[in-house]
Amino acid sequence: MTPETIGPYVTLRRLVGGGQETELFLVHHRDDPPEAVACLKRVHPNYDDNPLFGQRFEAEMTLAQKLRHRNIVEVSDLGQDDGHYFVMEYLDGPSLEDLLAWGTLSPELVAYIGIELCRALSFLHHSDRDNDRGPVIHRDVTPHNVLLSRNDGGVKLSDFGLAKALGRTGAETITQARGKPIYLSPEQLRDDKISTRTDLFSLGLVLWRALVGSHPYGEGRPRDRHMGEWILEHTLTNDRRLVAAAAPHAPSALCEVIEGLLQPLPTRTPSAEDVFRVLRQIEPLDGHAQLAAWIAQVAAEGA
């Protein structure tokens, strides 16, 4: 049952995509007009049993409120009402995960989405200029957290800080990944120290999925093998097809970019700027329009 209010927010309807840990609502602030809508994400109240969770959540979401970039979903408020919540801008469109349920994207659209995500990651990774915490790392770059606008084909990265606030570890994520792909780097799976290159590995997984339609380390899994364990084993050994073999239709530059992102840490592409420079060579001039048109086509077919 959808609650009538959460804190000072009036709920309009429940949104899909919350998952096991969170729930999503379309809301408006009671002091604002009903058309001024936002998206509210509330964490399951069980997390409040952990005395450290509230502190982590407030610290991460307070930092998220300071992050302002065209490719990052804006966080405007946070609070607590039957669980901690934060409020973010509402994008009228699908997530990349939703869009990929209808099929893979053209190499041009993959390059365009990669460019936009590189803009977001470059901004995050250099945001340490304004804080003393070191580089800001997203930790959870997945198709589910890439939100798309049906109006203008915009691409935005969401849920910054949530994975850290929830205290997720590689082992816990593997246990939960019964039938869905996971997008963690080898260092996350080992619970080792992470860096900005951690986000870049996850970006490589996202771009592979968009281009090929599968998870590079999930291919060939027998039905009797647990998805998370299979991906863990093959990620740690980098056991997968080459990108060029998985996507022979794609430009070599795009294949090389993804290949570089999926390398072990010492030889992995070092920065989002390096990826950006290569993808600019194959990015379509009308990427926004192409993506908006594809979203519209998918919506029409699904109606």
- pLDDT at position 208 is 98
* SS3 label, residue 99: helix
CATH of 5-88, one of 3.30.200.20, 1.10.3720.10, 3.90.1150.10, 3.40.50.1980: 3.30.200.20
pLDDT grade for 232, boundaries at 50, 70 and 90: very high
Q: Which tens digit of pLDDT belongs to each residue from 21-38?
A: 899 999 999 999 888 999
Inform me whether the pLDDT recorded for 181 exceeds 90. no
Distance CA 245, CA 48 (A): 47
pLDDT grade for 205, boundaries at 50, 70 and 90: very high
DSSP letter for 91, please.
Answer: P
Enumerate the CATH 1.10.510.10 domain ranges in the chain, comma separated: 96-302
- pLDDT at position 269 is 98
What average pLDDT does range 11-29 have in this prediction?
88
Q: Which tens digit of pLDDT belongs to each residue from 91-114?
A: 999 999 999 999 999 999 999 999
- pLDDT at position 130 is 53
Which residues are CB-neighbours of 8 under 8 A, at least 6 positions away? Answer: 29, 30, 31, 79
Nearest to 143, CA basis, from 225, 86, 214, 198? 214
> With contact defined as beta carbons under 8 Å apart, do 270 and 130 qualify?
no
> With contact defined as beta carbons under 8 Å apart, do 195 and 175 qualify?
no
Inform me whether the pLDDT recorded for 14 exceeds 60. yes
Which residues are CB-neighbours of 80 under 8 A, at least 6 positions away? Answer: 7, 54
CATH of 96-302, one of 3.30.70.270, 3.40.630.10, 1.10.510.10, 3.40.50.720: 1.10.510.10
286 is an active site residue: no
Q: In this predicted model, which residue has the larger pLDDT, 70 or 163?
A: 70
- pLDDT at position 13 is 92
* SS3 label, residue 26: strand
Q: In this predicted model, which residue has the larger pLDDT, 173 or 299?
A: 299
For 123, other C-beta atoms within 10 Å of its C-beta total: 18
Mean pLDDT, the chain, rounded, equals 92
What average pLDDT does range 42-57 have in this prediction?
91
Enumerate the CATH 3.30.200.20 domain ranges in the chain, comma separated: 5-88
- pLDDT at position 176 is 72
Type of residue numbered 178: R
- pLDDT at position 171 is 72
Q: How many helices (H) and strands (E) does the chain have?
A: 12, 8
- pLDDT at position 129 is 54
Q: Which tens digit of pLDDT belongs to each residue from 253-295?
A: 999 999 999 999 999 999 999 999 999 999 888 999 999 999 9
Share of the chain above pLDDT 70, in %: 96
Inform me whether the pLDDT recorded for 299 exceeds 80. yes
Span of 163-167, 185-189, 275-279 with lowest mean pLDDT? 163-167
- pLDDT at position 178 is 65
Catalytic residue among 82, 128, 140, 159: 140
- pLDDT at position 132 is 63
What average pLDDT does range 8-25 have in this prediction?
88
- pLDDT at position 179 is 66
What average pLDDT does range 181-190 have in this prediction?
93
